[in-house]
Chains A and B, each alone.
Chain A
Amino acid sequence: MQLKSALTGISGLRYMVDKLDIKSGLGHRVLLASTFLVSQKDVLYQLQQVAQAVDAFNRSEHKETFDKVAIKLSQVRDIAGTIKNIQKHLTLNDIELFEVKSFTLLANEIRELTPSVEFLHSKLPNLDKVIAILDPENTRIPSFYINSAFAPELTELRKKLASVEFSIEDLEKTNTDSNKQYQQSEEIRAKITEIEDGVRQNLSEQLHGFASELNEALVAVANIDILIAKAKQAIYERLIMPEIVADTTSYSGLFYPQLKELLELEKRRYQPIDVEIHKGTCLITGANMAGKTVLLKTLALSQALCQYGFFVPAASAKIALVEQILFSIADEQSELSGLSSYAAEMLKVNQIVQMAKKQHPLLVLIDELARTTNPTEGRAIVSAVANLLNDCNVKAVITTHYSGLSTQCRKLRVKGFIEDSKDATITVKNIGDYIDYSLIDDDGTNVPHEALRIAQILGVDADVISEASRLMETNSNKH
Chain B
Amino acid sequence: MPFIDDVLTYKSLSIVGLEKNTGKTECLNYVLGRLKDMDKRIALTSIGIDGESRDIVTNTQKPEIRIYKGMIFISAEKHYLQRRITSEILDVSNIHTSLGRLVIAKAISSDKVLLSGPPDTHCLKAIIAEMNSYNVDLTIVDGALSRLSLASPAVTEGMVLATGAAYSANIPELVRKTKYVVDLINLPEVEPELKRKLDFVESGIFAVDAESNLHDLNVQSVFMLEKAKDKIFSYGNRLFVAGATSNNLFEFLRMQKNVANIELIVKDFTKIFATPDVYYSFVKKGGKVRVATKTKLAAVCINPISPQGYRLSSDELKAAMQDALQMPVYDVKKLK
Contact = CB atoms under 8 A, between A and B. Distances in A.
A77 B101 CA distance: 12
B81, B87, B92: which has the most chain A beta carbons within 10 Å? Answer: B92
Contact of A145 (B94, B108, B110): B108
B99 interface: no
Contact of B89 (A77, A144, A165, A189): A144
B298 to A, nearest CB: 28
Nearest to A144: B89
Interface string B208-219: 000000000000
Interface stretch (A60-68, A92-100, A366-374, A469-477): A92-100
A147 B109 CA distance: 12
Contact of A143 (B77, B90, B110, B111): B90
Contacts of A145: 86-89, 108
Interface string B251-279: 00000000000000000000000000000
B110 A95 contact: no
Interface string B84-106: 10111111101000000001001
B80 interface: yes
Contacts of B88: 143-145, 147
Contact of B92 (A77, A158, A161, A162): A77
Contacts of A94: 80-81, 89
Interface residues of A, number: 18
Main secondary structure of the interface of B (DSSP, over half): strand
A390 B89 CA distance: 65
A95 B89 contact: yes
Contact of A25 (B89, B92, B94, B106): B94
A66 to B, nearest CB: 23
A407 to B, nearest CB: 53
B106 A143 contact: yes
Chain B interface extent, by class = 10 to 19
A142 B111 CA distance: 24
Given A143-B90, A144-B88, A145-B86, A95 B80 contact: yes
A162 B103 CA distance: 24
Nearest to B111: A165
Contacts of B90: 143
Interface string A132-162: 0000000000111101000000000010011
B102 to A, nearest CB: 11
B89 A162 contact: no
B104 to A, nearest CB: 9
Interface in B228-243: none
A24 B109 CA distance: 34
Contact of A162 (B84, B87, B106, B109): B109
A95 B108 contact: no
Contacts of A158: 86, 108-109
A98 B110 contact: no
A195 to B, nearest CB: 12
Interface string B289-320: 00000000000000000000000000000000
Interface in A155-210: 158, 161-162, 165, 189
A99 B80 CA distance: 14
B92 A98 contact: yes
Contacts of A98: 89, 92
A142 to B, nearest CB: 8
Contacts of A161: 109
A469 B211 CA distance: 55
A95 B77 CA distance: 8
B103 A95 contact: yes
A135 to B, nearest CB: 13
Contacts of A147: 88, 108
Given A145-B87, A158-B86, A95 B106 contact: no
Contact of B81 (A93, A142, A144, A189): A93
Contacts of B80: 94-95
A98, A142, A165: which has the most chain B beta carbons within 10 Å? Answer: A98
A78 to B, nearest CB: 10
B74 to A, nearest CB: 13
A162 B77 contact: no
Nearest to B77: A95
Nearest to B86: A158
A167 B311 CA distance: 32
Contacts of B89: 94-95, 98, 143-145
24 contacts: A77-B94, A93-B81, A94-B80, A94-B81, A95-B77, A95-B80, A95-B81, A95-B89, A95-B103, A98-B89, A102-B91, A142-B91, A143-B88, A143-B90, A143-B91, A145-B86, A145-B89, A145-B108, A147-B88, A158-B86, A158-B108, A162-B109, A162-B110, A189-B84
Interface of B: 77, 80-81, 84, 86-92, 94, 103, 106, 108-111
List 7 tightest A-B contacts by C-beta distance, closest first: A145-B88, A98-B89, A143-B90, A144-B89, A143-B88, A93-B81, A95-B77
Interface of A: 25, 77, 93-95, 98-99, 102, 142-145, 147, 158, 161-162, 165, 189
Given A145-B89, A162-B110, 14 more contacts: A25-B94, A77-B94, A93-B81, A94-B80, A94-B81, A94-B89, A95-B81, A98-B89, A102-B91, A143-B90, A144-B89, A145-B86, A158-B86, A165-B111
